[in-house]
Amino acid sequence: MSEKHIYKVIFMNRDQVYEIYANSVYEGDMYGFVILEDLVFGEKSAIVLDTNEEKLRAEFEGVTRTFLPIHEIIRIDQVQKTGMAKIVTPSEKNNLSNISTLHKPSK
């Protein structure tokens, strides 16, 4: 029996860091793009616990396949279970120890 893979994908989008989960990640036919299919979000309930995940769910609603430019991808991890999808704003980026950005060298 084959094991089902889940991928955590962290990428930049309009000066924000997105962290989403997908069941399928692969290189597409369009040069320089990685394709994510079958995006995974937490169970939808009447009580909204995380507004970021709801924003992501709304943004990707109806999307069957998304194409990410390879230069915007920070990291792709194969994980055993999904976590909370989230958006990290520039002010919150400084609080993350595992995500760093490239800075222009000082003069």
96 domain-assigned = no
> What CA–CA distance (Å, rounded) separates 7 from 15?
22
Compute the distance between CA of residue 51 and CA of residue 58 in angstroms, rounded to an integer. Answer: 10
Alpha-carbon distances, residue 22 vs 37, 56, 101 (angstroms)? 6, 13, 23
Per-residue pLDDT band for 91 (boundaries 50, 70, 90) equals: low
pLDDT tens, 21-46? 999 999 988 899 999 999 988 765 54
Q: Evaluate whether residue 14 is within a structural domain.
A: yes
Whether the model pTM is above 0.75: no
Q: How many domains does the chain have?
A: 1
Q: Which domain holds residue 18?
A: 6-89
